[in-house]
Structures are given as structure tokens and as C-alpha cells.
Structure 1
Amino acid sequence: MLRFLLNGVFVCAIIFVLQLMVCVPCAYALAKLRFRGRDTLFSAVLVGLLVPPQALAIPHFVLLYVFGLLDTYAALILPWIISAFGIFLLRQFFRSIPDEIIHAARLDGLGEFEIIWRIMMPMSTPALAAFGIFSVVAHWNDLFWPLIAVRSEDISTPALGILLFRDDEAGQFLGPLMAGATIIVAPLLLAFLLAQRRFIDGLATTAMK
């Protein structure tokens, strides 16, 4: 169980960091920059929200197979580094930040990426916390994709590791199964309790926009 928990922490942390590196600049561009095709790109993000991840499982599997990345940590991480939900959530929050702050930063000589990392992200802590909760919970509990992409126990995620308590011949080991499920759920409950205030503030602020 400790191995599964460590795998889950590693995979969820890397996915979240990569999602921030992609989603934050994209959301900033859609919220604060003016360029041709901006509304079309935002419409594509909204369409992406309608596509279930299961619909992309076969293309992802084939692509990872071609590059020989199946049954690796990369197979668990790469398909999720772009999050349409993250772009949408952060874009809505960035729109609530006054444009005057960004104009003042530009007058002080800051570039766009400096504005993102030094101004937008510190001011967007509630939205980042809300997105972090959604991202971590989704990938911590995900069983569908790890069941397809991973075969080795050494890199199994917590949800996939629970299946080891299933034995088709001897039956279900209900005692260890319930104990393992409790251990897996406990970190999520603790994380939510620690980030509850920022999570609610992020959702409330985004919903008003």
C-alpha cells in the first residue's frame, strides 16, 4: 500500500505541475490578450469540456504504444497535461483581475510571462487551489486509464492497487479491501480539509464570472 500511495502522490503531483505550466499561460492569453481567433480558441476549450476522457483512450493508447511508453510513469502522466477544465476555470478567474494591474506591470518593464508568474498566480491562489483539488481527486481515483496503460505492480496507482485484493479463485478479501480503500481515501479527505476555504472561495469567485 505504501508503494501505491507514493506512486499516486508522484503521478498526481507531476500531472498538476505540468497542467499549471500549460493551463495558466493559456488561460491568461484567453482572458487578457487580444489576438485574432481568441474567441474561436475559447470555443474549442468549451468543446473540449464536452469530450469524455474515455473517448480518447484508444488514440492515447496507440500513440503511447508507437513511442514505447506503455507501462511507464509517462503513460500515466502525458495524456493529462492539457486540461480544458483547468483552462476554463483559470480563464474565468483571470478575467476578474483588473486590467489596470497588468498595464502597470507592463509599464514597469515586466514581460507577459513575468506577469503570469509574479502577479497572476499569486493573486489566483483560490482558483489554483480549487483546480488542484479537482485534478488530484480525479487522477488519484482514476482506474479506467491506469488499468489500460499499466501492467506492473511497481508503478500501479492507489485505485489500481486495490484490485490486488481481488482473487477470482479464492474470492474477495473484504477486510483488507476495505482497509485499503480507507487508507486511499484518507489523504484526499485531509487535503480537502486543509484547502477547504480556498477551494470554496475559488469556486465562488469563478462562478460569479
Structure 2
Amino acid sequence: MASPLHPSLAWRLFRHVVLLAGSAVFVLPFVWMLSTSLKPADEIFRDGFHLLPQQWAAVENYTRALTQVPLLRYLFNGVVVCAGILVLQILVSLPAAYCFAKLRFRGKRLAWGLVMLSLMIPFQATAIPLYILLYQVGLLDTTAALILPFIASGFGIFLMRQFFLGVPDDLIHAARLDGMGEFELVWRVMMPAAMPALIAFSIFSVVWHWNDYFWPLLVINTTDLATPPLGTMFFRNEEAGTDYGPLMAGTVIITLPLLLFFLSAQKRFIEGVTLSGVKG
């Protein structure tokens, strides 16, 4: 008889089957996307599904995806927007999180409550006021319109604060005794200590804004400023149409940087999420 600390073989098998089934739900769309990107148009719409194409059209599909629309330009725009947002979010989130975690000031509980409240408000609820504001200042259809609304991240402040709560106060006191000011302490002591949480937040931020379709669709009209998801729409409307081979090839190219980014930082991502668990 298996003890409570050592689950039975049947339970372990059941657990792994459930986990594998859940993984398949998320992986199968990507497998279908990759498979479709390798097939010619007549085979995509043929009855039945074959994982590997009977007639390979990978070269044609990927060549069309890279040459018939400025796909590399869309990728570059995505890198610029995501990097700009991430850098500005870190510049705001780290000092704010340090203040909430380690400093005492009047109105702290109210300010923290407002940060938590911001997490409950979906971005779509504030999209129209932001759109009107950008229109009034003449920033519509610019790269700044894609970056500025996201520079303050309530989630980033929350995640960093949770991590900073676990940093010993003795480390901060020692830095102050060495003559460090508060801002110097944030960037020279707290930021290196919070690197796992920072990498975890970076993955969340980059994935969210790289895949964002709603906001760029509102504020961008110029094709040259399109981000990858918006560029996919332009590609479908102008070039691919119902030819899903090149369309899926372009989607694979757009998805690949995210996959490589996550795999390269996977260990730090798990570590950061684990160490940033909810603390009082």
C-alpha cells in the first residue's frame, strides 16, 4: 500500500497523462501552423490531415513570406517597441517596487491599493481615453504611440515588490552605511539581487507586447510602423489572401523569436516566478 508521501504508480501515470493531454492542447496549434507552412495550397485544403507534406513547398512559402511583404521590417518594429517598453517599465517599476517594499512614507497603503486596483482594470477599458490623448498631442501613427501607454506596469511593480520583500534589510542597511543613496541602492544592489524576477517580468512583458494586436490596430495606419501581429494582417489582406502556406510561414517566423527568447531564459523565468511568491 502506497503511503501518502509516495503516490501509487496508477496515480503518477494518471497525473502524467493529464499533463500530457493539457500540453497537447497548447502544442497542437503550433504543430498545425508549422505543418501548414510546409505545404502547397492544394494540399492544405485536401481531405484528411497529414503532419508531413506529401509535396514540400517550404522554400516557396517562406520565400514569399520574406519577400512579398516587409516581414523583417515588422520584426524590427516589434523588437524596437518591446525593448522600448521593457526598458521604460524597468526604469519605473524597480524604484517604485523598492519604495513599496522597503520604505515608509505617508499614503503608502493608499498608493499600493491603487497599484493593485490597476491590475483589475483591463487595458481595453482605458484604450479610448488614451487614443484621444494621443490624438490631442499629435502622436497617433508613431512608434511613441505604441510605447508610451505601457511605461507604468502595475504587474511589474507588484512582481518586483514581492521579490524585494525577501531581500534582507541588513543588506540595505549595509549599503547605506557605505554611503549609497536610495537611487544608487536600487540600481547597484536591488537590481542585481532581483535579476531572476526581472527576467521573469521581461518574458511576460515581451510576450504580451510582441503579440499585442488590439492597440497597434487602433493607433497605427502606416504599414512601415506595423508590429508583427499587425503585419500578419497586412500580409493576409494584401498578398496571401486565402493562400495559407505563406501566411503560416510568416506566422512561424514571427513566433520563432518569442520561442527562442523563452527557451534561453526558461530557468531564470521559473526561478523568478517561484521566488516572487506572495509575501505579506
TM-score normalised by the chain length of structure 2: 0.73
Whether 1:156 aligns to 2:226 is: yes
The 8 Å contact of residues 134 and 140 in structure 2, kept in 1 or not, is answered as yes
CA contact (8 A) 1:4 1:155 kept: yes
Letter in 2 for 1:42: W
**Aligned counterparts, 1:48-67, within 5 A:** 48-67=118-137
Q: CA deviation at 1:168?
A: 8.7
User: 2-side partners of 1:158 and 1:170: how far apart?
Assistant: 15
* 1:92 equivalenced with 2:180 (yes/no): no
**Distance in 2 of aligned mates of 1:5 and 1:44:** 35
User: Quick one: distance in 1 between partners of 2:95 and 2:230?
Assistant: 33
- 1:179 counterpart = 2:266: no
> Given the superposition, is the C-alpha separation of residues 208 and 83 from structure 1 closer, same or farther in structure 2, using an over 3 Å criterion?
closer
Compared CA separation, residues 66 and 93, structure 1 to 2 (3 A): same
The letter for the 1-side match of 2:174 is A
C-alpha deviations, 1:75-127, integer Å up to 9, x for none?
Answer: 00000000000000000000100001001111111000000000000011100
Higher Cα radius of gyration: 2
Choose 1-10 or 164-173, whichever is displaced more. 164-173
* SS of residue paired to 1:113: helix
CA distance in 2, matches of 1:91, 1:170: 46
Change (3 A) 1:201 1:169: closer
Cα separation, partners in 2 of 1:9 and 1:197, compared to 1, 3 Å: same
- In structure 2, what is the equivalent of residue 207 of structure 1? 277
Indicate whether 1:141 and 2:211 are aligned: yes
Corresponding residue of 2:91:
21
Shift of 1:166: 2.5
User: What CA distance in whole angstroms lies between the structure 2 residues aligned with 1:170 and 1:48?
Assistant: 40
1:3-49, CA deviations, whole angstroms, 9 ceiling, x for partnerless residues? 00000001000100000001110000000001111111111111000
Partner of residue 106, structure 1 = 176
Q: What percentage of aligned pairs have identical amino acids?
A: 60
**CA-atom RMSD in angstroms:** 1.4
Q: Is the 8 A contact 1:11 1:76 kept in 2?
A: yes
TM-score, normalised by the number of residues in structure 1: 0.97
Cα distance in structure 2, aligned partners of 1:170 and 1:86: 38
> Counterparts of 2:104 and 2:187 in 1: how far apart (Å)?
19
Which consecutive residues of structure 1, in runs of 5 or more, have no partner in the other structure? none
Equivalents in 1 of 2:256, 2:243: separation in Å? 20
